[in-house]
Amino acid sequence: MKFVIITGLSGAGRSQALKRLEDKGYFCVDNLPPKLIPEFAKVCLQSNHIKAATVVDMRMGDMFDDIFEAIKILKKMEEIDLSILYLDASDEALVKRFKETRRRHPLSQDGMLMSGITQERGKLRRIKELANNIIDTSTYSLKKLGEVIDKLYSEPGDNGILITVTTFGYKRGVPIDADMVFDMRFLPNPFYQEDLRSHTGKEQVVRDYVLSFQRTRVFIEKVSELVNYIAPFYLEQDKKQLVIAIGCTGGTHRSVVVAEELYNVFRAQGHRVIIEHRDIEKDLQ
């Protein structure tokens, strides 16, 4: 039986992830006390459920620490295929969401939102290290989060690693969920070409310019070789998602071209792959 424990930061999208799994046929329970999780799993097995999920988070206070013993028990149950999904987000994104919903953070006893977020990050650090899948939802819409959940928890037969290729601008920081980070600032910058500056890396004129350099093509080939080499080892460690971050100065030109090429290469090789451009066009607005 597939069993998913959803955890992570308040405001990062845990409830939405649980609803998505429910839509995919999972038997779901929200905010179940950790001590009851092994019993919940046994009940699901006895009831012939093949997929189940629950959310565990800091709303339960000190009871949260019982999750680690529950995880040990689940891992010893041969019938259980356990996956831990951790939802993360930047401080900026979390603050914005809490202000929009006017909700109170479960750990902000003093009323200070940031102190609650910081405290929660600390308390969740250990379980984050145990997670099989970590998703940074900072820039995600509900639709985007749903697509990622669908691909992570797809039906049997799609057992390969899920590769997410994301682009970013260094001036706005490196994505917090990146497993591998590559810097494209070794490539000539289209920004300094007058006729290319107002275009993005998704447009043919910029693509042609960036790919005209041999170093670009060699880099794409080498990264593809590296990813195909390490992907099986990620799966051996039960890590089912690989996030590759491709950066340049603004996240609009070089990184976008390279990411789009890698996306096409990985798809052609039969990988499950998602692409997203975090900062594209921000410098053009």
Q: Judge if 129 and 103 occupy the same domain.
A: yes
Q: Judge if 200 and 145 occupy the same domain.
A: no
Residue 285 confidence (pLDDT): 52
Q: Judge if 105 and 203 occupy the same domain.
A: no
pLDDT digits (tens, 9 = 90+) for 78-122: 899 999 999 999 999 998 888 887 777 877 766 678 888 888 999
Q: What are the angstrom distances between the C-alpha of 38 and each of 49, 131, 203, 218, 237?
A: 14, 18, 52, 50, 23
Q: Judge if 130 and 182 occupy the same domain.
A: no
Judge whether residue 33 has pLDDT over 70. Answer: yes
Residue 284 confidence (pLDDT): 61
Judge whether residue 157 has pLDDT over 70. Answer: no
Residue 111 confidence (pLDDT): 65
Judge whether residue 54 has pLDDT over 90. Answer: yes
Q: Judge if 139 and 179 occupy the same domain.
A: no
Q: Judge if 112 and 237 occupy the same domain.
A: no
Domain for residue 157, yes or no?
no
Q: Judge if 137 and 175 occupy the same domain.
A: no
Q: Judge if 77 and 189 occupy the same domain.
A: no
Cα four-point dihedral sign 266, 272, 278, 280: positive
Judge whether residue 258 has pLDDT over 60. Answer: yes
Q: Rounded mean pLDDT of 270-282?
A: 87
156: buried, middle or exposed (CB in 10 Å: 19+, 13-18, 0-12)?
exposed
Q: Judge if 167 and 146 occupy the same domain.
A: no
Domain for residue 77, yes or no?
yes
Residue 156 confidence (pLDDT): 53
Q: Judge if 168 and 248 occupy the same domain.
A: yes
pLDDT digits (tens, 9 = 90+) for 159-217: 678 899 999 999 999 998 899 999 999 999 999 998 999 999 999 999 999 999 999 99
Domain for residue 144, yes or no?
yes
User: 275 - beta bridge partners?
Assistant: 165
Residue 110 confidence (pLDDT): 62
SS3 for 243? strand
| Cβ atoms of residues 255 and 157 within 8 Å | no
Percent of the chain with pLDDT over 90: 62
Q: Rounded mean pLDDT of 60-77?
A: 92
CATH assignment of the domain containing 117: 3.40.50.300
Last residue of a domain, one of 124, 152, 180: 152
Q: 205: domain range?
A: 162-284
pTM of the model: 0.65
Q: Judge if 100 and 203 occupy the same domain.
A: no
**Length reported for the chain:** 285
Residue 25 confidence (pLDDT): 82
Neighbouring C-beta atoms of residue 179, cutoff 10 Å:
16
Average pLDDT of the chain to the nearest whole number: 90
Compute the CA torsion angle 154, 160, 161, 163 (nearest 10 deg): -80
Last residue of a domain, one of 152, 171, 202: 152
Q: Judge if 116 and 6 occupy the same domain.
A: yes
